[in-house]
Structure 1
């Protein structure tokens, strides 16, 4: 994808906003998508957009000041991945696990910089 459309930047910002939601709202979002009880979708769209973030910035669609916050968010999600952490990716973990509280905090900080 050499020339992503602005809608991809919008989808990326939305993915950060979804990561910033309270756990009950995240669960409801996943249920509406039909992916619950898996919470994987919370990170998938973010991951796709994060890879394109330099292009979004280059085109003036996003501010480069958000990159450090987005990188911290990406690092947190990466630290949660893999088989040893499979239990984190079930909706039951969203309201109770410190890892998800940290994701929400980092996403909120990034979202402020994206606005």
Structure 2
């Protein structure tokens, strides 16, 4: 029986979610069209992976540095969610400064996690 390492799975899921958040708008929109979902799905995928990383870190299986690297992305998504501006549209995904900042934070987090966790 081949069981996957929960730490490796968590890091892979987190990197995948960050890669999607860091992607160019046309790539994000293409992904959303394939799934038939709205832009908030990108945030939900990150949230799932980030919450898993927090849990895995809490069990001592994942370094706190990995969670810390992704924390600014989580904070930015929370701000976007609580904003009075409608950020969860494809149009805003393409043009808004909120999404540009989010992409930048996701790129930084991805680089830090790649350095820390490989």
Verify same fold: TM over 0.5.
yes
TM-score range with shorter-chain normalisation?
0.7 to 0.9
> 2:32 aligns to what?
30
The 5 Å alignment of 1:1-115 reads 5=6, 6-35=8-37, 38-57=38-57, 58-60=60-62, 63-82=63-82, 84-85=84-85, 87-115=86-114
The ranges of structure 1 where at least 4 consecutive aligned residues each deviate by more than 2 angstroms after the TM superposition are 4-9, 54-58, 63-69, 82-85
TM-score of the two chains, using structure 2 as the length reference: 0.78
- Structure 1: gaps spanning 5 or more residues: none
CA drift at 1:31: 0.9
How many residue pairs match? The answer is: 107
RMSD across aligned C-alpha pairs, in angstroms?
Answer: 2.1
Unaligned segments of structure 2, at least 5 residues: none
TM-score (norm 1): 0.80
Deviation at 1:52, TM superposition (A): 2.2
